[in-house]
């Protein structure tokens, strides 16, 4: 085994055996470090999202921006319940909606489309930005060389 280690040291440099072994098996210490750093970055991101230095106005506006989708879903379910519970009341409301002019429906459709489209675009851009930052951090971690194992070095020398 010592002969193979010396040959690999001559061919690949001082840590030749380690480099060849890492081709076939991941460095467990390095994997642990990368997993820990990934978890810490995730926790930091969640912490910044939920308690970051945002003011009251920003938090209130985030809450208001989260209302339309649940309100529309619950409102639609409410329409079904009201149609079954009070059909006459429901029919009167639907007759009123039938009187709304078509251009007003187009305007409402445009407003809702722009609202959800802009929200989707913002979220997609934030997601792509976070992916790019994560990949850059991963490349930086991969570029860092692991520290030598003192016990292994002592064993080799001994």
The pLDDT value recorded for residue 16 is 62
The pLDDT value recorded for residue 139 is 77
Torsion of CA 101, 103, 107, 109, to 10 degrees: 80
The pLDDT value recorded for residue 145 is 62
Q: What is the residue-level pLDDT of the chain in tens, covering all 158 positions?
A: 577 767 666 666 666 666 667 777 777 888 888 889 888 888 887 777 666 567 788 878 888 888 888 898 999 999 999 999 999 999 999 999 999 999 999 999 898 888 888 878 888 888 888 888 888 887 777 667 666 777 778 888 87
Q: Domains of the chain: which residue ranges?
A: 1-52, 62-98, 100-146
The pLDDT value recorded for residue 51 is 65
CA–CA separation, 104 vs 120, rounded Å? 24
pTM, 2 dp? 0.41
- In this structure, how many other beta carbons lie within 10 angstroms of the beta carbon of residue 157? 6
The pLDDT value recorded for residue 113 is 85
């Amino acid at each position: 085994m010592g002969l193979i280690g010396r040959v690999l040291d001559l061919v690949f440099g001082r840590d030749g055996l380690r480099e060849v072994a890492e081709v076939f098996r991941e460095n467990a210490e390095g994997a642990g470090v990368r997993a820990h750093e990934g978890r810490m970055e995730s926790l930091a991101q969640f912490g910044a999202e939920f308690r970051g230095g945002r003011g009251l106005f920003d938090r209130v506006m985030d809450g208001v921006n989260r209302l339309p989708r649940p309100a529309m879903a619950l409102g639609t379910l409410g329409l079904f319940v009201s149609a079954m519970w009070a059909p006459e009341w429901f029919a009167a409301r639907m007759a009123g909606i039938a009187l709304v002019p078509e251009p007003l429906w187009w305007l409402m459709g445009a407003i809702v489309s722009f609202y959800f489209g802009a929200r989707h675009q913002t979220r997609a851009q934030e997601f792509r930005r976070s992916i790019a930052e994560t990949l850059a951090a991963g490349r930086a971690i991969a570029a860092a060389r692991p520290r030598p194992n003192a016990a292994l070095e002592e064993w080799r020398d001994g």
